[in-house]
Amino acid sequence: MNTDTPLKIGGLTARLPFIQGGMGIGVSLGRLAGTVAKEGGIGIISAAQIGYREPDFDENPLGANLRAMHTELAKARELAGGAGGGVVGFNIMVAMKHYEEYVREAVAAGADIIISGAGLPTELPKYTDGSEVRLAPIVSTAKSAAVILKYWDKKYKRIPDLLVIEGPTAGGHLGFTREQLGTFTPDVYEQEVSEILGIVEGYEEKYGREIPTALAGGIDTPEKVRRAFALGVDAVQCATCFVTTEECDADLRYKQAYIQAGAEDICIVKSPVGMPGRAISNDFLRRVDAGEKIPHRCHQCLHHCNPAEIPYCITDALIHAAKGEVDDALLFCGADAYKAERIETVHEVVTRLFSE
Ligand SMILES: Cc1cc2nc3c(=O)[nH]c(=O)nc-3n(C[C@H](O)[C@H](O)[C@H](O)COP(=O)(O)O)c2cc1C
């Protein structure tokens, strides 16, 4: 597999073997995803509170989100060259309330692919039954890969159309405990990737069909792209390096926070629902660390959230980020976010990573 070999996923073809990872809230919407798809990659819209700009979002978050899934996908399709143009889909987190409704709406809207992590998407095939949408679970460890592949094999007699392997340097919520983040150095994680690829191979043999794999986490240079392919994956998934693009859907001040950050500003936070995540240290996080409780109302986002117990609402904090209200925001980012030096276009990022 080469860095310029098209990525084939169950009858879909992306000209270049990369996926732009979904970024919520409001960081990868129709504009970023559509531009990426036009450039030859797979553009992924984050479904997380996607309707946050809809007038009725506060009263009816589910309805606003379901509606916005259609508008953002239509926007992406148009940018990507219409039907038969580039490949576009949704990232839908298992941890979201109303997960099933979001999945069914992605199918109704005509998404090419659903990528699903932040929990194991055990029932995803059930919710998409009868549709052509391609399904891609996200796993972080060999253990989670083994569980989801076995479950889909036993219960649905099927394999994923793509498997995303997300490593410890990724952005957003992470599929590792804090202890694992300490032990999985890049070298050690490469062994985990090999183990995951070994598990995948077993199912490829059983079904007589390939399961394309994509590696995610800190892949932002041509060298890192080549290194990923040398490990044996078929594609890479990149997110952080698309935040500082003109076409990224978040406010310019969010992008500038990446450019201004130093290595020492990137930290691991415990999100209100207990999962570790990676973010840029700022006033907001210092206030939370000091014990401040930030008043909020519930926007019905995550399953395992008890609004009475959390120090702040993650939806509010991520919406502040998307709107550029950076002092009140949770600024999710990957481990290498501080390396961004300027705002680029998607075309420049893609050319830099894949032109060799
Ligand atoms: C700002 C930001 C928001 C993210 N939001 C989500 C999300 O909503 N759902 C998800 O599954 N992954 C999310 N991710 C993870 C990315 O999709 C991607 O897999 C990962 O960040 C890749 O690593 P990189 O950012 O170092 O390239 C997010 C990442 C970033 C940087």
pLDDT digits (tens, 9 = 90+) for 196-249: 999 999 999 999 999 999 999 999 999 999 999 999 999 999 999 999 999 999
Tell which atom from ligand 1 comes closest to the C-alpha of 46: 8
Residues 167, 189: Cα–Cα separation, whole Å: 7
pLDDT digits (tens, 9 = 90+) for 84-125: 789 999 999 999 999 999 999 999 999 999 999 999 999 999
- Tally the domains of the chain: 2
Q: What value does the mean pLDDT take over residues 269-298?
A: 87
CB-based contacts of 351, cutoff 8 Å, min separation 6: none
204 and 120 share one domain: yes
Distance 252 CA to ligand 1 centre (A): 18
Residue 137 lies in a domain: yes
How much distance in Å is there from the Cα of 208 to the middle of ligand 1? 31
- Same domain for 118 and 245, yes or no, is yes
The chain-wide mean pLDDT, for the chain, equals: 94
Same domain, 246 and 262: no
**Residue 293 pLDDT:** 83
Judge whether 228 lies within some domain.
yes
Inside any domain, residue 2: no
> How many of the other CB atoms lie within 10 Å of CB of 207?
13
Q: Is residue 1 part of a domain?
A: no
Residue nearest to atom 8 of ligand 1 (CA): 24
Q: Output b/e per residue, 315-331; b: 16+ Cβ within 10 A.
A: bbbbbbbbbebbebbbb
Minimum-distance ligand 1 atom for the alpha carbon of 24: 8
Higher-pLDDT residue of 32, 304: 32
Are 283 and 262 within one domain? yes
Question: What pLDDT score does 272 carry?
Answer: 80
pLDDT at 1: 59
The half-sphere exposure of 232 on its side-chain side, counting CA atoms within 13 A, is: 14
8 A C-beta contact, residue 1 and residue 29:
no
Q: 139 C-alpha to center of ligand 1: Å?
A: 13
Asked if residue 346 has pLDDT above 70, the reply is: yes
**240 and 311 housed in the same domain:** no
**Residues 184, 345: contact at Cβ < 8 Å?**
no
Q: Which of 225, 240, 268 to probe ligand 1 with, by most ligand atoms within 8 A of CB?
A: 240
- Tokens 């990232």, residue? 91
Task: Tell me whether residue 193 is in a domain.
Answer: yes
Confidence of residue 8 (pLDDT cuts 50, 70, 90): very high
Are residues 183 and 90 located together in one domain of the fold?
yes
pTM: 0.97
Tell whether 256 is covered by a domain.
Answer: yes
Q: Same structural domain for residues 317 and 237?
A: no
pLDDT for res 84 = 77
278 CA → ligand 1 middle, Å: 10
Atom 19, ligand 1: residue with shortest CA distance: 21
Q: How far is the CA of 216 from the centre of ligand 1 (A)?
A: 9
Ligand 1 atom 21: residue of nearest CA:
171
- Asked whether residue 251 carries a pLDDT value surpassing 80, the answer given is yes
If asked whether residues 211 and 315 sit together in one domain, one would say no
Q: What is the CATH number of the domain that holds 206?
A: 3.20.20.70
* 3-state secondary structure string across the chain: CCCCCCEEECCEEECCCEEECCCCCCCCCHHHHHHHHHCCCEEEEECCCCCCCCCCCCCCHHHHHHHHHHHHHHHHHHHHCCCCCCEEEEECCCCECCHHHHHHHHHHHCCCEEEECCCCCCCHHHHCCCCCCEEEEEECCHHHHHHHHHHHHHHHCCCCCCEEEECCCCCEECCCCHHHHHHCCHHHHHHHHHHHHHHHHHHHHHHCCCCCEEEECCCCCHHHHHHHHHHCCCEEEECHHHHCECCCCCCHHHHHHHHHCCHHHEEEEECCCCCEEEEECCHHHHHHHCCCCCCCCCCCCECCCCCCCCCCCHHHHHHHHHHCCHHHCCEECCCCHHHCCCCECHHHHHHHHHCC
- pLDDT level of residue 356 (50, 70, 90 thresholds): low
Pocket test for ligand 1, best of 19, 20, 23, 50 (most atoms within 8 A of CB): 23
Ligand 1 neighbours (beta carbon < 6 A): 21-24, 27, 46, 48, 91, 93, 117-118, 138, 166, 169-172, 216-219, 237-240, 243, 332-334
Same domain as 318, residue 229: no
| Residue 32 domain-assigned (yes or no) | yes
Domain that holds residue 325: 252-339
Quick one: 222 and 328 in the same domain? no
In the prediction, which pLDDT does 139 show? 97
The Å distance, Cα 172 to ligand 1 centre, comes to 5
Token couple for 279: 């973010």
**Do 198 and 233 fall within a single domain?**
yes
Which protein residue's CA is at the shortest distance from atom 5 of ligand 1? 23
163 and 130 housed in the same domain? yes
Assess if residue 125 is contained within a domain: yes
Residue 6, amino acid = P
